[in-house]
Amino acid sequence: MRVAMIGTGYVGLVSGTCFADFGHVVTCIDKDAGKIDALNAGTIPIFEPGLQDLVAKNVAEERLFFTTEPDDAIREADAVFIAVGTPTRRGDGHADLSYVYSAAEEIAGLINGFTVIVTKSTVPVGTGDEVEAIVRRTNPEARFAVVSNPEFLREGAAINDFKRPDRVVVGTESEEAVEVMRELYRPLYLNETPIIVTKRRTSELIKYAANAFLAVKITFINEIADLCEKVGANVQEVSRGIGLDNRIGSKFLHAGPGYGGSCFPKDTLALSRIASDAGSSLKIIDSVIEVNAARKKKMADKVIDFMGGDVNGKTVALLGLAFKPNTDDMREAPSIDIVEKLQAAGAKIRAYDPASMEEAGHMMSDVLFCDGPYHAIENADVVVIVTEWDQFRALDLERVKSLLKTPRVVDLRNIYTQDYMNAHGFEYTSVGRSY
Ligand code: UGA
């Protein structure tokens, strides 16, 4: 099959590369000439394990192309994917669809023969209808179907998530389009991946409902963690105790500093707006948004309390800044709120993150970015583990102790245990674990 992928952001680049690796011929299109030049020179603009090699392989095998010129690729395509950004619109929580709609107009003038137009971007319910109307209006003769095909990729694990998904969701009423989509995903039949075919609006909602449910799960366990601290319980044991019930499931029950990233915060807000626009209410989601935002700030209070209520003039060493490991993404990362609040309380911040320090440099000021975890810890009064990168899981604790002014650790990801840290001579606190 021939695929045109509009947008070389996270979703477009990963999806385009993986479709090429499935054996299809894929052209990734972006208006940003600098980005396309870089990609053609083999430079990947995002940090995603395995992506660089997979791009190089498929470029070398002449199945993956990058261009700023959409014409030929769209004309020849069996499927054109719209994978442009849908940021939160300034001032309200709605998704900004202007990039999606301008892509639709561009596609309309170029398609040739039956073409499936696929929205891969996360878009509010009814966007597919609007895309269809735009294409129809711009090119009344065109033969096409608009399909919703949401992505469920996690940053840091995106290639595996694409190639071994739990399910593929295809939203369309066109049989012809379903056949094209099945052909595109045919390599997944070997793993017997379920392909769910629904109406387009249902598919659009599935994406938001999935992300919102995961955000609920995380926020639920975070509140249970707070309760554990008050009543002498241990949230990791609670997670295990409830997660082994198949109806609940054990994933996404890790308590921490609150969810961040480019998806959960944006999508929960957009879903809440979709509901209120439709005259429906989603009180659970509204609470989750509020609780999570407050939680990120509360994590700084946790550090301050641990330091006896005062961090003025103290040095805090942060390990990890990205919103999760294996990414350089700083969007909505809890570290931003933590740094802001600790600085307001008079603390000096040293920090180390294996991937996100350049990004972090644009988002926080007066932070000393260090060369490694031990450099960050040097002469600090306390270490705060913010992101659970593997390299922080097995620190040389004797070295940590010798570098710190006082051996104190706040572990916001629960990667160490109370007994272990106490045995190594640390004062230690974590999230939701009274023991
Ligand atoms: C999320 C979804 O997991 C993907 O399925 C979806 O495709 C993607 O959004 C999207 O809409 O594009 P992502 O934002 O990359 O993926 O990251 P997650 O791994 O889901 O983590 C999100 C946040 O939740 C992180 O801040 C993480 O630290 C936090 N989290 C996750 C917890 O605090 N506890 C957990 O148990 C799990």
Task: Among 259, 289, 319, give the residue marking a domain's end.
Answer: 289
Same domain as 138, residue 188: yes
In a domain, 398, yes or no: yes
Residue 228 falls in the annotated catalytic set = no
Is pTM beyond 0.85? Reply is: yes
Same domain as 372, residue 260: no
Same domain as 169, residue 33: yes
- Number of domains comprising the chain: 3
Catalytic residue among 18, 228, 263, 370: 263
Same domain as 253, residue 316: no
Same domain as 51, residue 178: yes
In a domain, 170, yes or no: yes
Same domain as 276, residue 304: no
User: Which atom, in ligand 1's list, is nearest to the CA of 210?
Assistant: 5
Q: Which pLDDT score is estimated for 190?
A: 81
Same domain as 152, residue 212: no
Ligand 1 pocket mutation pick from 214, 217, 327, 332 by most atoms within 8 angstroms of CB: 214
CATH number at residue 228: 1.10.1040.10
In a domain, 161, yes or no: yes
Which residue from 323, 324, 294, 305 is spatially nearest to 219, judged by alpha carbons? 294
Q: Whose CA is nearest to atom 2 of ligand 1?
A: 154
Same domain as 337, residue 232: no
Residue 416 Cβ inside 6 Å of ligand 1? The answer reads no
Phi (first) and psi of residue 352, to 5 degrees: -140, 135
Ligand 1 pocket mutation pick from 122, 253, 264, 336 by most atoms within 8 angstroms of CB: 264
Phi (first) and psi of residue 109, to 5 degrees: -75, -10
Q: 332 lies in which domain range? A: 296-429
In a domain, 268, yes or no: yes
CATH number at residue 318: 3.40.50.720
Same domain as 237, residue 172: no
In a domain, 435, yes or no: no
Same domain as 355, residue 323: yes
Q: Which pLDDT score is estimated for 86?
A: 87
Same domain as 405, residue 322: yes
Same domain as 45, residue 178: yes
| Low-confidence residues in the chain, pLDDT < 70 | none
